[in-house]
């Protein structure tokens, strides 16, 4: 990526950071029905594809640079809220590759939420662009390292191409084979029940309203559990998603479980999913989170991912390390991550080189 574009990215992130400090000086207490928020999250990345390195500065796609606002208790109706949120079109970490350099661009697909919600004592209704019921069902996690390590492996470098053992670029990308089958955001109707002994049930139906040419119908159902005592905190998620297309129906089931030992900060997470086409994956993570430095939580984790048949006859494996240092008084986090990728073809037709990825960055919230 050229020096000019690097300077543009640094410049935009600096302006956003200064603007966020300015926005933070306006007391939210002046109007507790309106809340403006956002974050800046640039990162520096290196991808070693086995032949050459690609170095690039980009927006961290695990939690992208964004702005938004809440307007609460609309029409003086308690529980009736509106949330707007959009990414800012900064070049993203998942769109860079050996052969592509993403452009600075904002269009309507960058809108994350345009969401009207109404919350009652027996549940919550959602209408508009936002999360389907299975969004997040693959990512129960107490590790604190989500900025560099989750089951969404392709967020870091999804567009990069694997090379064959002869050194030539293939057509296989990281995002082709490293998928967690997690739900997404759509224009939808959704309802979540109130919590019952820690359990919440959710259902949604949606359509793609931000991208042209997609006439699919989407249906999700999910159940969530949260529980804790003096020793441990538990979160569990399970969901199924159906997509009706002109070619037939696609169905996938996803689940995840996270456990935190409250006293020691030791934690673990497990997730997995399968498609009706036969593809499946499993992801496991262990970590520890502690305030060792006295400035905020320090989080460290190791994880492992394996998929089989997510893309044809390919088996994909990955091992990752994540480190995140929080600075609680500053709403600031610094992070480092590294990841190893392995891809193999069960038919033996093609052999692929291993790849490695490194990430260094920081996120500021306002």
Per-residue model confidence as pLDDT tens digits over 268-295: 999 999 999 889 999 999 999 999 999 9
Residue 27 confidence (pLDDT) above 80: no
Distance CA(42)–CA(63), nearest Å, equals: 10
Confidence category of residue 31, pLDDT binned at 50, 70, 90: low
Task: Report CA-CA distances (Å) from 85 to 106, 183, 207, 219.
Answer: 13, 18, 19, 23
Residue 53: CATH number of its domain: 2.40.160.10
CA dihedral 344, 350, 354, 357 (to 10 degrees): -90
CA 136 to chain centre: 8
Distance CA(321)–CA(202), nearest Å, equals: 33
Count of the separate structural domains present in the chain: 1
Residues belonging to the chain: 366
Distance CA(60)–CA(56), nearest Å, equals: 11
Q: Which residue has the higher pLDDT, 13 or 118?
A: 118
CA dihedral 251, 162, 155, 255 (to 10 degrees): 30
Domain that holds residue 128: 3-365
Task: Report CA-CA distances (Å) from 147 to 150, 255, 319.
Answer: 8, 20, 16
Q: What is the pLDDT of residue 312?
A: 87
Residue 19 confidence (pLDDT) above 60: no
The pTM (predicted TM-score) of the whole model is 0.89
Residue 8 confidence (pLDDT) above 50: no
Beta strand ranges found along 278-331 (DSSP E): 280-290, 298-308, 314-327
């Amino acid at each position: 990526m050229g020096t000019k574009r690097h300077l543009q990215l640094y410049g935009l992130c600096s302006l956003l950071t200064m603007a966020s400090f300015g926005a933070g000086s306006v007391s939210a207490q002046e109007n507790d029905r309106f809340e403006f928020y956002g974050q800046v999250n640039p990162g520096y990345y290196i991808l070693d594809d086995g032949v050459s390195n690609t170095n690039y500065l980009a927006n961290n796609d695990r939690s992208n640079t964004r702005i938004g606002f809440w307007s609460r208790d609309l029409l003086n109706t308690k529980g009736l809220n509106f949330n707007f949120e959009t990414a800012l079109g900064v070049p993203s970490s998942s769109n860079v590759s050996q052969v592509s350099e993403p452009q600075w661009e904002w269009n309507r697909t960058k809108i994350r939420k345009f969401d009207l919600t109404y919350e009652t004592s027996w549940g919550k209704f959602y209408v508009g662009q936002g999360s389907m019921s299975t969004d997040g069902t693959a990512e129960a996690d107490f590790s604190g390292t989500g900025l560099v390590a989750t089951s969404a492996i392709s967020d870091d470098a999804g567009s990069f191409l694997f090379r064959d053992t002869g050194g030539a670029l293939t057509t296989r990308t990281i995002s082709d084979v490293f998928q967690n089958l997690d739900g997404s955001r759509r224009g939808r109707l959704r309802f979540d029940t109130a919590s019952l002994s820690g359990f919440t049930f959710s259902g949604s139906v949606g359509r793609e309203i931000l991208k042209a040419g997609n006439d699919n119908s989407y249906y999700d159902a999910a159940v969530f559990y949260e529980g804790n005592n003096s020793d441990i905190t538990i979160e569990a998620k399970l969901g199924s998603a159906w997509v009706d297309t002109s070619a037939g129906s696609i169905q996938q089931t996803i689940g995840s479980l996270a456990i935190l030992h409250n006293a020691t900060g030791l934690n673990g997470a497990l997730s997995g999913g399968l498609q009706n086409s036969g593809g499946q994956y499993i992801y496991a993570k262990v970590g520890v989170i502690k305030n060792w430095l006295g400035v905020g939580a320090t989080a460290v984790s190791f994880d492992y991912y394996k998929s089989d048949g997510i893309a044809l006859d390919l088996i994909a494996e990955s091992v990752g390390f994540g480190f995140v240092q929080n600075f609680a008084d500053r709403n600031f986090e610094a992070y480092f991550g590294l990841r190893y990728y392995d891809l193999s073809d069960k038919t033996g037709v093609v052999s692929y080189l291993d790849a490695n990825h490194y990430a260094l960055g920081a996120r500021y919230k306002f």
